[in-house]
Amino acid sequence: MNIINVKNYQTLSEIAAAVIAAQIIKKPDSVLGLATGSTPEGTYKNLVEMYRDGILDFSKITTFNLDEYCGLGKEDPNGYFYFMMDKLFSYVNIPRENINVPDGTAKDVDYECAEYERKIRRANGIDLQLLGVGRNGHIGFCEPDDVFYNETRQVNLTESTIEANKRFFASAEEVPKTAISVGIKTIMSAREILVLAGQDKAEIVEKLKSNICSPRIPASILHYHPNCTMIFAENA
C-alpha cells in the first residue's frame, strides 16, 4: 500500500477528487465503489464543483456503496442512502438506476446480500473503490474479527463503531446494531483502491505502516492489493 502524507484535510479532499475525476475522464462508464462518513465529504464536495464547472460527466457512471445500516430506509436522514443523496447523488447526473446502496430494510437480508454481489459482478466489478477507515481498522463495516469475511453480509457493529458513529444520531442507543456490508473479497476485487484517513486516524495509520496483516485490523489486508493508495492528512 502506497501511503501519501498530505498536510491537511483540504489537500486530502482535492487529491482524492482529482483521482476520482481522472478515473471518470479516462473511463466515462466507470464503476465506482463509494464510502460514507465524515472523511469523504470534502471529496464529494469537490466532485460536485467539478460537475458544475462542466469538467465531469457522470451520465455513464455506476456506483456501489459499501454499506447501509439495517432497519434504515432510503428516507432516513441517518441512513447511508440519504447521506449519499445529500452529499453527491442529488447534485450530479448519475442515472438513478445506476446508483446501488444495500437495502437496509430488505426482508430477506441474505438474498439482498447475495443479489448485491451479483449486481457488482454483472457490472463487471469495481474500477475504483473509495474507502475510509475506522479507528478500529474497519473498512466498509468489515469489523475486527477472527477471520476475514469475504462477501456481502449482515454484520454486527462493534461497540467502538457504535461509539464513533453516535455523533450522527441523537444518542448511542439509536445507532443500529447491525448493518449490511460488502465483504473483504468484494473490496479487494476492485481494480484500484483509494483510502482516505484524517488525523483522527493517526493511531490506526501508524499500525497500518507495519507489514502485519490480521483480521483484527481488517484494513491491513490492503497491503496485499496491487494498486492501493492511502492519502493521510497529518493535520486534518
Binding interface with ligand F6R (CB under 6 A): 35-39, 66-67, 132-134, 138-140
Nearer CB in complex with ligand F6R: 66/184: 66
Q: How far is the CB of 212 from ligand F6R (least distance, A)?
A: 20
67 as an active site residue: the answer is yes
Q: How far is the CB of 201 from ligand F6R (least distance, A)?
A: 7
Say if CB 179 and CB 69 are below 8 A apart. Answer: yes
Q: How far is the CB of 85 from ligand F6R (least distance, A)?
A: 14
Q: Which of 46, 65, 67, 225 is catalytic?
A: 67
Give the number of other CB atoms < 10 A from CB of residue 81: 23
Q: How far is the CB of 66 from ligand F6R (least distance, A)?
A: 4
Q: Which of 65, 112, 138, 225 is catalytic?
A: 138
4 DSSP β-pair partners: 231
Rounded to whole angstroms, the Cα distance separating 201 from 184 reads 20
Q: How far is the CB of 167 from ligand F6R (least distance, A)?
A: 8
First to last CA, the chain: 21
Nearer CB in complex with ligand F6R: 67/127: 67
Rounded to whole angstroms, the Cα distance separating 37 from 28 reads 25
Cell numbers at 236, concatenated? 486534518
Q: Which of 112, 143, 165, 225 is catalytic?
A: 143
136 as an active site residue: the answer is yes
Alpha-carbon torsion, ordered 36, 39, 45, 46, to 10 deg: -120
Helix (H) or strand (E) holding 64: strand 62-65
Q: Which residue is nearest to ligand F6R (CB)?
A: 132
Nearer CB in complex with ligand F6R: 34/61: 34
Nearer CB in complex with ligand F6R: 51/141: 141
Category of 59 on φ-ψ map: left (φ > 0), alpha (ψ -120 to 50) or beta: alpha
Q: Which of 46, 65, 98, 136 is catalytic?
A: 136
Question: Angle at Cα 176 formed by Cα 119 and Cα 199, nearest 5°?
Answer: 85
Nearer CB in complex with ligand F6R: 134/176: 134
**Residues forming the active site:** 67, 136, 138, 143
